[in-house]
Amino acid sequence: MRIICKDLTYSYDPKKKPAVYALNKVSLTINEGEFFGIIGQTGSGKSTLIQHLNALLPVQEGFLSVGEFDLSLKDKKKYKKQLKELRSKVGMVFQYPEYQLFAESVFDDVAFGLKNFFPNLNANEVAQRVANALNAVGLNYYEVKDKSPFDLSGGQKRRVAIAGVLVTDPEVLVLDEPVAGLDPAGKKELMALLHSLENGRRTIIIVSHDMDEVLENCSRIAVMQQGELVKIGTPEEVFNSNQSYAGLNLPVTVQVNNLLKERGINLNCNFKTEQFICDLERFFKKTTNN
């Protein structure tokens, strides 16, 4: 599903004068199947933006459509009618989703959303889809389904929480800081997991504070600053414009590149770490051979 945002504006306290905008005329398009990153300082409006995507926040001003759903409809009846279907198709994984686990067994927890969205499913279908979701997040269905979610490790809990969203087979998956609080090995695994959920159609949107993470993983990145979208593009475009963004640092490879540039050395390396290493190796070997 394609997401189109035009001049989206939102204020948590619309009556306040002068108005403080959490989102200020944000326009962007996210295509089907993209692995999209949103970065920005805390309080820059990232979370406000993504909460619009499954109508947790109503559109106050501007236009927003997610696939065939028009979320800026003024007709309240029509607007409300589409919400349930929309929410089953736009899955939202909040920061530290493991805090939202509540059921007695992993099975019940994962099945909760599914049963709510599709009350007509029979037990077999529910079991099948829960199994699929748990397998998709790299957990063994038979091993974990009867366990209490609270007996699992931090990384496993987070996977269960993601499975609970994945179970409705959403076409858009939005994750707010998916790797925060995980150890480096866990981070790597979870990012690999997210890539394994790509199927050409599913759009994955992550909000992150880790510049290296978005650089390595995202096809495009949007930069938010004080409620405004200040930059959107491929990682190369976003980090190569000699621009710095409030509250953010630059990925390590970009920092190295910029330091060298200051001293008049232009390496022309790809910024993705493994590529960066290869390019450097090639660069130095070539120059020594000459």
Partner 1 sequence: MLVKKLYKWYNNTWRKIKKRNLKKAFCKKKEKMSAVKLTNVCFSYDDEINAVNNLSLEINQGEYIVVLGRNGSGKSTVAKLINGLITAQSGSVEVFGLNAANKSDLFEIRKSVGMVFQNPDNQMVATIVEDDIAFGPENIGVSREQIAQRIEFALNATGTLSFRNRPSSELSGGQKQRVAIAGVLAINPKILILDEATSMLDPVGREEVIGVIKKLNKENGLTVICVTHYMEEALDADRVIVMDGGKVVMSGTPEQIFACEKRIEECGLSLPRAAYIYNRLKERGVDLGDQQVYTVKELADRLCELFAKI
List residues bridging with 8 in a β-sheet: 26
Alpha carbons 199 and 34: distance in angstroms, whole number: 10
Alpha carbons 194 and 239: distance in angstroms, whole number: 23
Alpha carbons 126 and 47: distance in angstroms, whole number: 31
Quote the least distance from Cβ 272 to partner 1, whole Å: 12
Contact assessment for residue 135 and residue 159, using Cβ atoms and an 8 Å cutoff: no
Q: Contacts with partner 1 in 202-221 (CB under 8 A)?
A: 209, 211-212
List residues bridging with 176 in a β-sheet: 207
For partner 1, which is the closer residue by CB, 47 or 203? 47
- Interface with partner 1 includes 280 (CB under 8 A)? yes
Contact range with partner 1 by CB under 8 A, out of 26-34, 100-108, 116-124, 253-261 = 253-261
Contact range with partner 1 by CB under 8 A, out of 2-10, 106-114, 132-140, 245-253 = 245-253
For partner 1, which residue of 14, 43, 68, 102 counts as binding (CB under 8 A)?
Answer: 43
Contact range with partner 1 by CB under 8 A, out of 105-113, 137-145, 182-190, 229-237 = 182-190
Quote the least distance from Cβ 185 to partner 1, whole Å: 4
Quote the least distance from Cβ 246 to partner 1, whole Å: 7
For partner 1, which is the closer residue by CB, 48 or 54? 48
Question: Cβ atoms within 10 A of the Cβ of 166, count?
Answer: 24
Nearest to 222 by CA among 5, 28, 8, 65: 28
- Interface with partner 1 includes 273 (CB under 8 A)? yes
Coil vs helix vs strand at 200: coil
Q: Which string of b and e fits 186-201 if b means at least 16 CB within 10 Å?
A: bbebbbebbeeeeeee
- Interface with partner 1 includes 249 (CB under 8 A)? yes
For partner 1, which is the closer residue by CB, 81 or 246? 246
